[in-house]
Amino acid sequence: MSDITDVTEFLEKYYDTFSRLDVESITPFFCEPCIFISPQGVVAAQTYEHVKGVFRIIAEGLRSKEYGRSELTDLRVQQMSNVTALATGTAVRYKRDGQELERVGVTYILQKSDNGWKIAVTVIHDAAQA
């Protein structure tokens, strides 16, 4: 299996997990430390506890909008080295009733470790730029 396929499958699992909004299950997908960049600012999460705190805020915001699930579309993965990959796509978020809630552009820098791929940097941006 190629690294590009591995990264694609890793991100599919991440989106399945993200869709449950379970704070405890999200940390294995991230490097420690990692960086989140969004229109709200930049957060450098030094520990998994910090990652949980960031995700808790995201989950609360989505729940307040009747969030149901997310899917990653238009995914493009580029191998940057043996241990680094760049992935860009569109996160399509749906309400519980199946209606589309929003689309956001997402860019991830991933790092390969002994435990597989992990997200080192997450960038949320305009969907048109994905």
> Using an 8 Å Cβ cutoff, are 83 and 112 in contact?
yes
φ, ψ of residue 103 to 5 degrees: the values are: -130, 135
pLDDT of residue 110: 98
pLDDT tens across the length of the chain (130 residues): 588 999 999 999 999 999 999 999 999 999 999 999 999 999 999 999 999 999 999 999 999 999 999 999 999 999 999 999 999 999 999 999 999 999 999 999 999 999 999 999 999 999 886 6
Instruction: Give the pLDDT of residue 74.
Output: 96
Domains of the chain in start order, with CATH, are 3-129 (3.10.450.50)
pLDDT of residue 128: 80
Interatomic CA distance for residues 107 and 98, integer angstroms: 25
Give pLDDT, residue 129.
Answer: 66
- Contact yes or no for 103/93 (Cβ under 8 A): yes
Q: What is the pLDDT of residues 90-102, one digit of tens each?
A: 999 999 999 999 9
pLDDT score for 1: 54
